[in-house]
Chains A and B, each alone.
Chain A
Amino acid sequence: MNLSPDFDDFVRRCSPRLLRTTYLLASDRGHAEDLLQEALVRTARHWRTARSAPEAYTRRVIVNLATDRWRALQRRPAEVPLDDQTATAPAVPAEPGPGDRQVILHALRQLPYQQRAVAVLRYWDGVSVAETAALLGISEGTVKSYGARALARLRELLPDRIEAPQC
């Protein structure tokens, strides 16, 4: 079955936003691109179902894939860094240096996965508490709890970036 032009429009319009969400969940640019493409292939496969709300459908697939990947990473040994000749530069540096602009990305990466997922969905994507709970398969109370903890942790990690405005 050929893909409709609607699908092409959807990909062009929404893929940058979806990639950024995926990147925040996966913490790695390469994996984020992998997950996004897999999610879009699945959305294409179920386009008749997804076409009424394709972005929400794809976001759900992305969250499921990111969660699956996170679970898989818990079960396997840590990746071994390659030597200088073969390594590719990480998308997010392990430790932000002085003047590094990716401090918030690094701070997000420090959060436990579910707190990070809640923070990304709630505060980056603007997804409601109820929808976040449904996406992650947790209760609304847990979403609120994780969200509060994530913000508290961000306050600790970014004291110089997140501070009260000067009068």
Chain B
Amino acid sequence: MLTDTEVADTARHLLASELAAVSPPASLLTDVRARHASTQRRRRGSAGLLATVTAAGLTAGLAGTGLLAASPARQAGQAAQRPQHVASAQTIVLDGYPIRVASPLSLTVRGHGDLTATLAGRKIPLSLELASGGLPAGAARVRSWQRPAYLLRTGHRLSLYLPFPVPQGYHSVVVSSAGLSEAELLRFAAAITVAGQPGFLRSMPPSSHPAAHCPCG
């Protein structure tokens, strides 16, 4: 019978070989510095991430979705002046299933499966996966530091997967977590695809949200 020390030594030795291939991503330091800089900007009272979105990029992001009826330039100007958190709820539609984003607008993309939605009062984890560059849709995970605004600013595309069949009659998914501005949310919504199929997205004013007329609330 081995002593505890010998068991611990053996386990450590085995772990060392099993973990030999585990190393941080090459972009770790860059990502940490970028997040740190973003935090510092926000603490200094600037517009944070929004301030780093170019007017042209924001205009293209909003206009390309058809989400906004007013002129893109005007919307971009308004978005830049808007407080980071807005009071009204927004609704986006996911392939026929609206996603109502609770007020205050908030959404955090964390690791695989870490985003939790409430569907008809039942908490359900959502999975968000990242497609970028040459990677096929769903090939990589969304990391917590790759928040939607950051992803979109850097040209990534998000894919949202519902890891469950949406029950018939239920079509409201409420997503909530930490803060996104309205403009960031719209840009996030514009970039969502379902299983790699874009173009399903449209906006709905909260008053016409089907959830207002259905049991799922």
The distance in angstroms between the C-alpha atoms of A20 and B15, with both chains bound, is 10
Q: Knowing A19-B22, A80-B125, say if A123 contacts B10 (CB, 8 Å).
A: no
Query: Do residues B141 and A88 form an inter-chain contact, with CB atoms below 8 A?
Result: yes
- Tell me the bound Cα distance from A64 to B210 in angstroms: 41
Minimum CB–CB distance for A19 against chain B, Å: 5
Q: Mark B104-147, 1 if CB is under 8 A from A, else 0.
A: 00000011111010000001110101000000001111011100
Q: Does A66 contact B (CB under 8 A)?
A: no
B111-A86 in contact (CB<8A): no
Cross-chain contact B32 with A161 (CB below 8 angstroms): no
Contact of A37 among B7, B17, B145, B163 (CB under 8 A): B145
Whether A24 touches B15, Cβ cut-off 8 Å, given contacts A37-B145, A76-B116, A86-B163, is yes
Q: Is B24 located at the chain interface by the 8 A CB criterion?
A: yes
Name the A residues within 8 Å of B24 (CB-CB).
15-16, 19, 33, 36
B1–A164 CB distance below 8 A: yes
Of residues 1 to 51 in B, which have CB atoms within 8 Å of A's CB atoms? 1-2, 4, 7-8, 10-12, 14-15, 17-19, 22-25, 28-29, 31-33, 35-36, 39-40
B161 at the interface (CB under 8 A from A): yes
Query: Does A31 have its Cβ within 8 Å of any Cβ on chain B?
Result: yes
List A residues 1-56 near B (Cβ within 8 Å).
1, 3, 8, 11-12, 15-16, 19-20, 23-24, 28-31, 33-34, 36-38, 40-41, 44-45
Given the interface pairs A33-B143, A41-B32, A85-B138, the reply to whether A151 lies near B4 with Cβ below 8 Å is yes
- Contact (A8, B29) CB under 8 Å given A30-B112, A33-B24, A41-B35: yes
| Contact between A77 and B124, CB atoms less than 8 A apart | yes
Measured CA separation A164–B11 after assembly (Å): 13
With an 8 A cutoff between CB atoms, is A70 at the interface?
no
Asked if residues A29 and B22 are in contact (CB atoms below 8 Å), the reply is yes
Q: A23-B19, A86-B127 are in contact. Are A161 and B14 (CB under 8 A)?
A: yes
List 15 additional contacts besides A34-B111, A34-B143; criterion CB under 8 Å: A12-B29, A15-B28, A16-B23, A28-B111, A33-B143, A77-B125, A79-B125, A80-B124, A82-B161, A86-B195, A88-B112, A88-B139, A119-B11, A151-B4, A158-B11
10 A-B residue pairs with CB within 8 Å: A11-B29, A19-B22, A33-B111, A37-B32, A37-B143, A41-B35, A82-B163, A103-B14, A148-B4, A151-B8
